[in-house]
Amino acid sequence: MVNSYHHQGVRRLAQRFVPMAFAPDGLVEGFYDPDAYNPGEGKFIMGLQFHPERMRKPGGSDEFDYPGCARAYQEFVRAVVAHQHKVAAAAANAPPKLNPAMQKQRKVIVRSFSLAKDLYVSGGGRTRPSEQRDLDAGAEFLESNTALSVQQEKRLKQMGATVRNASGYLNSLKLNEGREAAARALMAEMTADQLSSLASFYHTMGKICSEVLDRKLQSLHLQV
């Protein structure tokens, strides 16, 4: 039960709200939302129509006329303290901010991994000088990271070597393409009989190779 120093009041509360204070005639003077009110977690949302500051007994007494009015102040203070603790904990657990130089290095490393992934998915391709520099930066980061377990360190170094050797892999592909182009040019000058003899020769060699390979595999199987 609380005071009522006003000429307006709430006739009907919305379904989400719960009444918590009434005037002597039953009029709702205070309510809260259960989903948004939890002082222990720093949540404090309530609606008050009455005047808790006018509810002291006459004569300057520290006692309140109606039980529970002091609790509005107490719960508010409790919510403020809980909220301060949450803010402090969040600040303590927040990841450290990178300075501009570290942020730039992070972006280069992320780009390096992205380039390496694209090379792996596409099976190779040409890289521009700027892309190669980014690949080298990622490889250096992977190979220099030693604050890990032995297995993790080994894996990262393997990844770093893979990224660093991307240019070598592309050069090998380019060399193979050159050899294939030279072979095509040479065969283009051969006669039909020469090409037929060459195809027959490699067909025979392939058949012999398959037979020898089968015998070796069977021998290994028997030994096991």
Cβ burial, residue 61 (10 Å; 0-12/13-18/19+): exposed
pLDDT of res. 146: 45
Between CA 165 and CA 170, with CA 169 as vertex, the angle to 5 degrees is 120
pLDDT of residue 132: 64
Closest CA to 2 of 38, 54, 39, 61: 54
Distance (Å, whole) CA 189 – CA 155:
49
| pLDDT the model gives residue 10 | 83
For the chain, the structural domain boundaries read 18-93, 100-172
Q: What's the confidence (pLDDT) of residue 144?
A: 57
Query: Quick check: pTM over 0.85?
Result: no
List, for the chain, all residue ranges whose pLDDT scores fall below the cut of 50. 67, 146-147
Q: Please report the pLDDT score of residue 18 as a whole number.
A: 92
Residue 35: how many other CB atoms lie within 10 Å = 9
- The helices-and-strands tally (H runs, E runs) of the chain is 6, 3
The predicted structure's pLDDT at residue 137: 64
Cα(56)–Cα(64) distance, integer angstroms: 4
- H/E stretch holding 77 reads helix 69-93
Q: What is the pLDDT of residue 60?
A: 58
* Alpha carbon distance, N-terminus to C-terminus of the chain: 91
Q: Left, alpha or beta for 42 (phi > 0: left; psi -120 to 50: alpha)?
A: left
